[in-house]
Amino acid sequence: MIERQLTLIMENKPGALARVVGLFHQRGYNIDSLHVDPVEDFVPYKFIEDELNIKFSKGEVSRLIIKTTVGDALMRQILRQINKLIEVIAISDNESTYLKGILRDENLL
């Protein structure tokens, strides 16, 4: 088991955080820490806007950072399951980034 950090870029909508936390709860995954901030500076996420052909607006998206302790196989499963949530625009760990189901090499960290 290794301590991991997940970074999610997600729509800032009611219930979005509850769905992510619920996914962890339903599958028995533990969240060691959780931090949420609205995204104010979109420059680091320009590649997301370009790739998905969208334009972020202030207050529209949030960055969610989750720390958890899991093995490699479980980490891949968590990434795939969170990526299926409709509010999640992008999710990244230290190795890979998913944009609405598309595996990318860029990292959100």
Written as six digits, the tokens of 49 are 């806007």
Mean pLDDT of the chain: 83
Query: Residues of the chain with pLDDT > 70: what percent?
Result: 92
* Domains of the chain by residue range: 2-104
First to last CA, the chain: 21
Q: Which residue has the higher pLDDT, 39 or 70?
A: 39
Burial of 42 (0-12, 13-18, 19+ CB in 10 A): middle
| Mean pLDDT of the region 17-31 | 87
The predicted pLDDT at position 104 comes to 61
| Mean pLDDT of the region 58-79 | 85
pLDDT digits (tens, 9 = 90+) for 70-107: 877 787 788 888 888 888 888 888 777 778 766 565 55
CA distances from 68 to 63, 74, 75, 89 (A): 16, 11, 9, 20
Q: Is the dihedral of CA 26, 27, 31, 36 positive or negative?
A: negative
Please identify, in words, the CATH class of the domain defined by 2-104. alpha beta
